[in-house]
Amino acid sequence: PSDSSDDEYSDSSDEEWLPENTRNIGDTDDEGDADSQDAESQDDEGQDDEGQDADGGQHDEGAEENVHMVPAQRNVHKGHTCTQPQPIDFFRYLFPLDLIDVIVHNTNMYALQKGKENLAVTSEEMQIFLGINMVMGYIRYPRTRMYWSSEEGLRLGIIADAMSVNRYEQILRHLHFVDNYTHQPANTDRLFKLAPVLNTLQKTFLMAANPEEFQSIDEQIIPFKGQLSIKQYIPKKPKPWGVKVWVRAGSSGYMYKFEIYQGSAIRGQSSSLGMAGDVVMRLCDDIKHKNHKVFFDNFFCSIPLLEALKDLGIYGTGTCRTNRLKGASQKLKSEKQLKKEGRGACSVVSTNSNITVTRWLDSSVIHMASTCAGQSPEDTAQRWLKKEQAKISVQRPYSVALYNQHMGGVDLVDQCVAMYPHRRRNKRWYIRVFFHFLDVTVVNAWRLYLMSGLEKMNLLIFKASVALTKVPSEVRFSAGNHWPELTQVKNANRCHNAACTRKTKYICMQCHVALCPGCFANFHMILPDYKSEDDEDV
């Protein structure tokens, strides 16, 4: 993609830059003693400072706290509620059943258009299909059909017993999210095949949580090497080929907003901020005038962008390229002067509008532009000298420390998604993008679960719980419409009674699981908790 034009940020400017020590920025003294803190190297911009408090930095009373929405009650069935939210409730809050119904409708529609009249996928089958793909993310086999292998050491019962391999491949082959015949030639949206999914997830991601005070904006890559007009090549990424996504995430690792890059021709003419600046403005349009702090790297950062964000009540901080510093470059100390002073030396200037630019010498010269942080309070960072084989303490400006602490939100999302990803090859790009955002939805649901104050649970256990959700006890053993209902599905499903190994087309009208008519009594019976004679009450 074309980068933001660097000519727009030339050094010629009438704006007056003054040294930091001539201005009273905040209530702190530039020459005050530095507090000793654990530091991260500026070379590792994407990493968090795990030793620092997540609420550190300048906190404005106007900024919203990190409050996440928790499903208050679990509506498992009409008349039955559970006060303790389960992992599946957090997932369904972000990936609602209405979206699954849309996918089912369009999948069946696409099958009819392709001559497959008897596919007849149901909502329950689609949920099983999605759960199987989640399991394939954390239990990986070289080939998909190995999960259904007849070999005793290969067959995976939690997948093979849930759905036959032929049925799984039929659903995957016809999986669709829109009706292709409704696409208009005048529609230039290259993502129309995923529009219902992307629109729904964007809405639920924003509704599920109040924005955190500290957020970051960065790019994300969805690996894909097939034929696709919007495919990008980013050599520094672990997977350089794929679909680029602009992401805004909190420092906790929760993704709030995303935008898939479709090329410069789709958006048309850029504003004076350039393409990258326009991306930041679009991603931040829902947090205006709430005193949020947003961090971004030198691909996005420029002095005009910081000014535009400040006019919207958003504080910005980012590394900045030399040719985007406008008039500040002549007011700062030169690189030669900083090298004479030694590693850790810095020079700071600011404007009347309180935009601060810091030039800091670490292993190389770094420029940090910010509207909420400057040089003080300084801290010390530990650096390793290869020649001397020893560590030294280096003075570090506050803006650099704050950037290192909160810039890694998007990288944290990437790290969690990459732990148990869905990496099954598929020539259809929209299938690959769909399963990527399914993984992101699981990660976001897990973040909401952790923020809710419930019992701690790691991502693997959480994802397994979502993928293999059973019928809740309060529904299974309660009085109600536990009657057999004959479904119209072509392929029978395995009976959910543990003592039965048969397949059936009957389901329980209340539990919505496959059950043989003769297994209803055993499945809905509460077994007594027998106690041996040797057991004694304590």
Rounded to an integer, the average pLDDT of 385-411 is 89
141 occurs within a structural domain:
yes
Residues 506 and 430 grouped into a single domain: no
Contact between 398 and 375 (Cβ < 8 Å): yes
Residues 159 and 259 grouped into a single domain: no
Residues 113 and 254 grouped into a single domain: no
Rounded to an integer, the average pLDDT of 481-495 is 81
Residues 306 and 439 grouped into a single domain: no
Residues 377 and 256 grouped into a single domain: yes
Rounded to an integer, the average pLDDT of 420-428 is 88
Residues 140 and 283 grouped into a single domain: no
Question: What's the pLDDT score for residue 374?
Answer: 79
Q: Are strands 484-486 and 365-370 parallel, antiparallel or unpaired?
A: unpaired
Residues 354 and 452 grouped into a single domain: no
Condensed to tens digits (0 to 9), the pLDDT of residues 273-299 reads: 889 999 999 999 999 988 899 999 999
Question: Bridge partners of 304?
Answer: none
Residues 139 and 177 grouped into a single domain: yes
Residues 367 and 440 grouped into a single domain: no
Question: What's the pLDDT score for residue 63?
Answer: 45
- Residue 224 pLDDT > 70, yes or no? yes
Domain containing residue 111? 84-187+423-470
Rounded to an integer, the average pLDDT of 364-374 is 89
Boundary of a domain, candidates 446, 470, 494: 470
Question: Counting beta carbons within 10 angstroms of the beta carbon of residue 516, is it exposed (0 to 12), middle (13 to 18) or buried (19 or more)?
Answer: buried
Closest CA to 397 of 8, 35, 15, 16: 35
Residues 175 and 258 grouped into a single domain: no
Question: What's the pLDDT score for residue 474?
Answer: 64
66 occurs within a structural domain:
no
268 occurs within a structural domain:
yes
Average pLDDT, the chain: 81
Residues 234 and 97 grouped into a single domain: no
78/485: higher pLDDT:
485
Number of domains the chain contains: 3
When mean pLDDT is compared over 246-255, 390-399, 472-481, the highest value belongs to: 246-255
100 occurs within a structural domain:
yes
Contact between 362 and 383 (Cβ < 8 Å): yes
Residues 306 and 266 grouped into a single domain: yes
